[in-house]
A and B are shown apart, each in its own frame.
Chain A
Amino acid sequence: GENVEQHPSTLSVQEGDSAVIKCTYSDSASNYFPWYKQELGKRPQLIIDIRSNVGEKKDQRIAVTLNKTAKHFSLHITETQPEDSAVYFCAAIPIQGAQKLVFGQGTRLTINP
């Protein structure tokens, strides 16, 4: 089955700097990769996703890149703000067939003012 590894487990950056979180996956059949943000005491919320036929996707200050050959994908947050502080989870899933959504271990991002 799929296995997703996420690094780093914690990340602290100065407000205004960029943050990068990386994930690797094991199943080459995985073709959909969402990212979730979980603020303290709240449910995980989908913030961006990417399909395997796309190498990069951007939405304002966040972007995700995918390298299918190397089986890794990354979340990039630019011009970080205090409200970006949260735990971020990556996930991978093969769309075809009955497959489960497999999550990485999470990254606790802290933005220092």
Chain B
Amino acid sequence: GAGVSQSPSNKVTEKGKDVELRCDPISGHTALYWYRQRLGQGLEFLIYFQGNSAPDKSGLPSDRFSAERTGESVSTLTIQRTQQEDSAVYLCASSLVTSGSSRGFFGPGTRLTVL
């Protein structure tokens, strides 16, 4: 695959249900990020992975949010007991950290709507 992919592209769920969002980074990219973007707003940092470990989980809004990454590739972001305020586009990005740059590439995002 040429770029970062995310699935599903759209998810509509009822309040209180759990959802799982998936990110497939560019092969070989060690760093992986999750961001949340509400309509017309900026990029809200959620969590960052370096390899399989998450050095920075400071952006997760509550304990309903969790994420994991296995095999230094796929990552899943899980939101339990969804609330209407969770509605947003969830963007994943990956990058390869080299000696001089860390070019991040974004996936197309998952648009989550909580009814």
> A-side interface residues toward B, CB under 8 Å?
32, 34, 36, 42-46, 49, 51, 89, 91, 93, 95, 98, 100-106
Contact = CB atoms under 8 A, between A and B. Distances in A.
Contact count band on B: 20 to 34
B67 to A, nearest CB: 13
Contact of A103 (B42, B102, B108, B109): B42
B93 interface: yes
A95 B109 CA distance: 25
Given A43-B107, A43-B109, A95 B42 contact: no
26 contacts: A34-B102, A36-B106, A43-B91, A43-B106, A43-B107, A43-B108, A44-B91, A89-B42, A89-B43, A93-B102, A95-B97, A95-B100, A95-B101, A98-B53, A98-B56, A100-B55, A100-B56, A101-B93, A101-B95, A101-B102, A102-B45, A103-B42, A103-B43, A105-B42, A106-B42, A106-B43
A106 B44 CA distance: 11
A44 B106 contact: yes
B50 A98 contact: yes
B100 A34 contact: no
B65 interface: no
Nearest to A94: B102
A104 B44 CA distance: 10
A102 B102 CA distance: 12
Interface of B: 33, 35, 42-43, 45, 48, 50, 53, 55-56, 91, 93, 95, 97-109
A5 B106 CA distance: 21
Contacts of B102: 32, 34, 93, 95, 101
Nearest to B50: A98
Residue of A34, A100, A103 with most partner-chain B CB within 10 A: A100
Given A44-B91, A100-B56, A101-B33, A49 B43 contact: no
B99 A95 contact: yes
Given A43-B91, A95-B99, 19 more contacts: A34-B102, A43-B106, A43-B107, A43-B108, A43-B109, A44-B106, A51-B100, A51-B101, A95-B97, A100-B33, A100-B45, A100-B55, A101-B102, A101-B104, A103-B35, A103-B42, A103-B43, A104-B42, A106-B43
